[in-house]
Structure 1
């Protein structure tokens, strides 16, 4: 067992908000090993190789701050008058001004506050304090500091965020219920083996017009690899800023109508190959994308009308260098493989001359990948418009993954902002008793601030564009993340805290501008204050019926939070019909994920189901777990008695699916994210069968 950290190392860790101990899911106090803390601090760019190095790093903490004229970034709430420290050569005059987002200028006021000067790198440095006005508008502004006798000026980002994200009008006065689905599971006659945005639009318009649903929550649509093999998990994308082109509906492209007969015939031939994949027992993303890409390349090569070309050009200008870098990465993976860490050294940074030369030499390939993102933006906007026209008050709600693939586009393009040698995960809990390792490099809190949170902002804007809301997976990651040093097990990690005031505030600002609701997935091990902070800022939490207990009994519906999305199940559990059959216990036992005997685990789950049945009976609801469809409906009716602002129904529960879409803590041991929708007997279910079935309409009557 690795020894505990020295007091000096523990003190340094505390300064960087790296936990040296924590309380686990069973209430046990746990100390973090020296090995883990050393690895985490090293990933933060610190030299902790010796006692002298540790001592020097402890001194460097204040030196780094005093070397800066202005802080790395200032994030404040509307109405606040924050004090900003400004470091200048001792005795020099300094003028601080705010450049507003709209181009206006405001002066900051110096505060009469004495701070002792310090010697920094052989020079005496003083600290002046400036107060910012309390009436600054919401937005992204800039602070400028001009120091007497110093050439140039210091500039930093100033973000003014809402005190509270108010609910959109669709939620202000009554509940909104909606559907929850994995888009790729929604196979229809037009799918290429993977559900697409056309299928999502069909589900949304069906839900809005015929069921009375107000929203549809989808899995993250973030981009995966541009070449096979394509990562199956939507929660392990290559980037969170751009979208996976596998979701494009080829036939909805306006250019299809203008193709010549020969090209149209070739597209139809490719489409037939794609449609044949709908009969597969599992989802083959590589085959689906190969067919769809072939069709898309034919459409792209045919060109665009002048007005469509102008729209594409405008999109490229708006998305700027971020889009160029992503498209370049896609082209580079085709030439050099998916792992950028194995590329020639000169190609491992997006700003290198070699990358610029490659981009110039492969202009058509880069342009094609930019075009795919423009098509996606267009189809996402159309999907949202159709959903709202069909009666949905919110429309599509998108999901934001926790992180990105270690070999992906963001890992390459945002390398300086991510910690190396570290994976994100979760400590052991009731449903994942060995802990989880999600193989994702985390943001470095210090670098994120130095970048003015621009990568985080740009990512949020893409996800929030043309949407009614955003679900933030593992929202507690905006407060603290479980960092797992590579080479250690998931349970040997530790927590690293983030500036949640900044991250939550920016999330609220961007959602406010989009008119969207924010839902935080706050399941698992959660700091008590985090839920209070989310409530204060107007962010909804997540309540799953199976996880909500009070004194050993299911939580009474009237005791649910108002600011929450309540549902019976989630994608990390089997559909409710499968749960009632203890499919999750059998699967975890088969995969070796249990830490107690299977008989004990099964008995505990049967007791939980019996307790839920008793709670339903007390409310006068059908309560026989053997009558699966009726029992599932009763559980949703139970939640409908709660004050929860949002009530979600999984599409899998509408059709009696029993198979888990994901088993946390596994990779290749189970076909995670690769199972299409199926009925109670395991047969494949199409979108057309869902929209014509009577079961969804019966359940919807209880939720309106």
Structure 2
């Protein structure tokens, strides 16, 4: 292709011709990268002959509802509002102008010129996302951020479940907490349970069935077969061992749960058609539609093929006749294995019911937010979503990150990107459905790598991450839809905006009412100083750490760096020594800040080299972030318990038990621990005091 033609095509497709790297250097994207990414964009279309009316038109407050059309012939239009009310008109002076007072929502526009007809979805959205009344009133809220699978209890089967989540809600609410935040609980792979990363799911619309609290199911209790299996000494000894294990044995847990759930489903299948639960299940299937059918079929087929001797990490390695979701062989499988598919649909229904019950509990406990979910930036290349929707996902590319100081070779996350051109052509329906699924019965939604609303780093297949390029997304439209769905679901939005984030997206996120994400470890104004609590952004959630970073103890004791060295994560010893030196500066800076703000007693040494992690230091750091002016504060149970090992070590696969490590004690025992209770009561007191402090500052400024 002629270089000029290639450049123009790449620009139309949203491929940025250059970018500024982490060192401030301008980098030019190669012609080969542009060509490969254009080839990967299955949704790319030639511009000639397209409709003069866009597939979607997003209108926000302050916008003039007028659309320029390059049509010379007379034009008539009809707008049908979401609730059925209609407006009609004709185009004047090459501009189609709609009424000014359209209600928020999704409306249908039909345009006619002679014998030609076009359609457009009109989306009218609010200016900002929903915010809870407590935050609008200036309250400073706090809560726990957990990895659900890490929770221990006397009743669970070796992995935290929705029953444990209920215990967590009760414990946090009793101490004045406003929410419990969750790791992504998206659907993974029952047929390959070792695939445990919640950030590389099969689907973001459906749930991980391993979180079902099996023992709480009425049909499990009533099933004779289930209770006979439950009473077996082998069953009881297996479950006891799974509970005692310090890491989750996903293979064994999955085997036990699927065995028990099979018995429970057989009991459920005996219910009559007039049974309330049966009616609810049938309605769940109807509302789940094609997406649920694909999810259940994918899981059933994956399990079947694994049993037949075709184990795989994804559909690309299945026999070729099953690699297309709508193939005759898949349809035949669906007919022959109807009950197995219905079983997987039933498990999704059970998981959804138990999650909804947890949210309802949070409301009864008067928690201002209740549950908050985390949404992964994408899905894995071998999962249900890519299997069932080939036009949306670009399988010849992957999402990642360009080279930076800690990753000089860049990153490839092996998550196929969605084609922004297809998103627009489909009026953003996949994005809308994903938001609705995750915002349902949820008080807050955290978007991982929120910069993806603006741009994503695409890496062509078979290329290194260095050879990628940024691809732009329609950020204004996506933010408008996010605001609309946020209000409809009464669900606030938090954006994970760590790392290098362009100023343009930062300003847009703030204006759209999306809360920022501030991690203590990164809040340094210089190598020798930490940001003052009073200088934290108000429209934000502050945290001590994240699932990809060290725990508080691990950070202070530098155990995360030593672990990285043992796992050979650093290119050479010079990098390791640099990180150690920087950590020493950070520890001293943090200790200085703790003394300045009187968060630790004066008797504690002012020399960081002489201070080891202790309950006194732990409480002091919690006090520091509790004084933060950020509206939200998220804390990890690992830090209440003084744990050292991290949840996940980025850059590793089998070298470390990522997404498997549990808490050191049960949920009930944790909230019975006087040290934990003392810590949380103090956090709660300081959060309330931060409200008064902020109010006094506002008065003085006025």
TM > 0.5: yes
Question: Is 1:460 aligned with 2:435?
Answer: yes
The 1:585–1:109 alpha-carbon spacing in structure 2 relative to 1, beyond 3 Å, is: farther
Question: What does residue range 173-572 of structure 1 map to in structure 2 within 5 Å?
Answer: 173=137, 174-209=139-174, 211-260=175-224, 262-269=225-232, 270=235, 273-303=238-268, 304=271, 306-337=275-306, 338=312, 339-552=314-527, 553-572=529-548
Aligned to 2:101: 135
Contact 1:201–1:383 under 8 Å retained in 2: yes
The 1:446–1:182 alpha-carbon spacing in structure 2 relative to 1, beyond 3 Å, is: same
Q: How far is the alpha carbon of 1:186 from its aligned partner?
A: 0.3
Instruction: Tell me how far apart the structure 2 counterparts of residues 226 and 459 of structure 1 sit (CA, whole Å).
Output: 21
For structure 1, the 5+ residue unaligned runs are: 47-56, 114-128, 679-684
More RCO (CA 8 Å, sep 6+): 2
Instruction: Tell me how far apart the structure 2 counterparts of residues 542 and 670 of structure 1 sit (CA, whole Å).
Output: 27
For structure 2, the 5+ residue unaligned runs are: 307-311, 606-610, 685-702
Q: How far is the alpha carbon of 1:272 from its aligned partner?
A: 5.4
Aligned to 1:599: 577
TM-score (norm 1): 0.89
Question: Is 1:654 aligned with 2:629?
Answer: no
Question: Is 1:581 aligned with 2:581?
Answer: no
Instruction: Tell me how far apart the structure 2 counterparts of residues 75 and 345 of structure 1 sit (CA, whole Å).
Output: 41
Aligned to 1:621: 599
Question: What does residue range 105-144 of structure 1 map to in structure 2 within 5 Å?
Answer: 105-107=86-88, 110-113=91-94, 129-144=95-110
Aligned to 1:682: none
Aligned to 1:50: none
Contact 1:78–1:138 under 8 Å retained in 2: no
Determine helix, strand or coil for the equivalent of 1:597. helix
Question: Is 1:97 aligned with 2:62?
Answer: no
Aligned to 1:697: 677
Q: How far is the alpha carbon of 1:322 from its aligned partner?
A: 1.0
Contact 1:184–1:194 under 8 Å retained in 2: yes
Aligned to 2:690: none
Summarize deviations over 1:596-617 as a string: whole Å, max 9, x none. 4322220111111111111111
Contact 2:453–2:478 under 8 Å retained in 1: yes
Question: What does residue range 30-69 of structure 1 map to in structure 2 within 5 Å?
Answer: 30-45=27-42, 62-63=47-48, 66-69=49-52
Aligned to 1:590: 566
Aligned to 1:146: 112
Question: Is 1:670 aligned with 2:637?
Answer: no
The 1:488–1:593 alpha-carbon spacing in structure 2 relative to 1, beyond 3 Å, is: farther
Which deviates the most, 534-543 or 410-419?
Answer: 410-419
Q: How far is the alpha carbon of 1:498 from its aligned partner?
A: 0.3
The 1:275–1:458 alpha-carbon spacing in structure 2 relative to 1, beyond 3 Å, is: farther
Instruction: Tell me how far apart the structure 1 counterparts of residues 378 and 614 of structure 2 sit (CA, whole Å).
Output: 36
Instruction: Tell me how far apart the structure 1 counterparts of residues 89 and 585 of structure 2 sit (CA, whole Å).
Output: 62
The 1:135–1:254 alpha-carbon spacing in structure 2 relative to 1, beyond 3 Å, is: farther
Contact 2:55–2:119 under 8 Å retained in 1: no
Instruction: Tell me how far apart the structure 1 counterparts of residues 436 and 334 of structure 2 sit (CA, whole Å).
Output: 26
The 1:413–1:663 alpha-carbon spacing in structure 2 relative to 1, beyond 3 Å, is: same
Determine helix, strand or coil for the equivalent of 2:153. coil
Instruction: Tell me how far apart the structure 2 counterparts of residues 268 and 454 of structure 1 sit (CA, whole Å).
Output: 48
Question: What does residue range 672-691 of structure 1 map to in structure 2 within 5 Å?
Answer: 672-678=658-664, 685-691=665-671
Q: CA RMSD in A?
A: 2.2
Instruction: Tell me how far apart the structure 2 counterparts of residues 452 and 275 of structure 1 sit (CA, whole Å).
Output: 50
Summarize deviations over 1:222-259 as a string: whole Å, max 9, x none. 00012024411100000000001000001122323433
Determine helix, strand or coil for the equivalent of 2:110. strand
Instruction: Tell me how far apart the structure 1 counterparts of residues 379 and 427 of structure 2 sit (CA, whole Å).
Output: 20
TM-score (norm 2): 0.90
Determine helix, strand or coil for the equivalent of 2:205. coil
Aligned to 2:120: 156
Determine helix, strand or coil for the equivalent of 1:442. coil
Contact 1:271–1:291 under 8 Å retained in 2: no
Contact 2:193–2:254 under 8 Å retained in 1: no
Determine helix, strand or coil for the equivalent of 1:570. coil
Instruction: Tell me how far apart the structure 2 counterparts of residues 520 and 223 of structure 1 sit (CA, whole Å).
Output: 22
The 1:352–1:158 alpha-carbon spacing in structure 2 relative to 1, beyond 3 Å, is: farther
Instruction: Tell me how far apart the structure 2 counterparts of residues 537 and 111 of structure 1 sit (CA, whole Å).
Output: 33
Q: How far is the alpha carbon of 1:98 from its aligned partner?
A: 1.6
Q: How far is the alpha carbon of 1:334 from its aligned partner?
A: 2.1
Instruction: Tell me how far apart the structure 2 counterparts of residues 365 and 703 of structure 1 sit (CA, whole Å).
Output: 49
Instruction: Tell me how far apart the structure 2 counterparts of residues 10 and 672 of structure 1 sit (CA, whole Å).
Output: 42
Aligned to 1:168: 132
Contact 1:212–1:391 under 8 Å retained in 2: no
The 1:86–1:350 alpha-carbon spacing in structure 2 relative to 1, beyond 3 Å, is: farther
Q: How far is the alpha carbon of 1:363 from its aligned partner?
A: 0.9
Contact 1:473–1:520 under 8 Å retained in 2: yes
The 1:447–1:271 alpha-carbon spacing in structure 2 relative to 1, beyond 3 Å, is: farther
Contact 1:577–1:658 under 8 Å retained in 2: yes
Contact 1:196–1:247 under 8 Å retained in 2: yes
The 1:430–1:693 alpha-carbon spacing in structure 2 relative to 1, beyond 3 Å, is: farther
Q: How far is the alpha carbon of 1:449 from its aligned partner?
A: 1.2
Summarize deviations over 1:173-214 as a string: whole Å, max 9, x none. 2011000110000021112111111111111111102x1111
Question: Is 1:80 aligned with 2:59?
Answer: no
Q: How far is the alpha carbon of 1:692 from its aligned partner?
A: 1.7
Instruction: Tell me how far apart the structure 2 counterparts of residues 430 and 675 of structure 1 sit (CA, whole Å).
Output: 29
Q: Tell me how many residue pairs correspond in the alignment.
A: 659
Summarize deviations over 1:493-521 as a string: whole Å, max 9, x none. 22111001122221221111111110000
Aligned to 2:589: 611
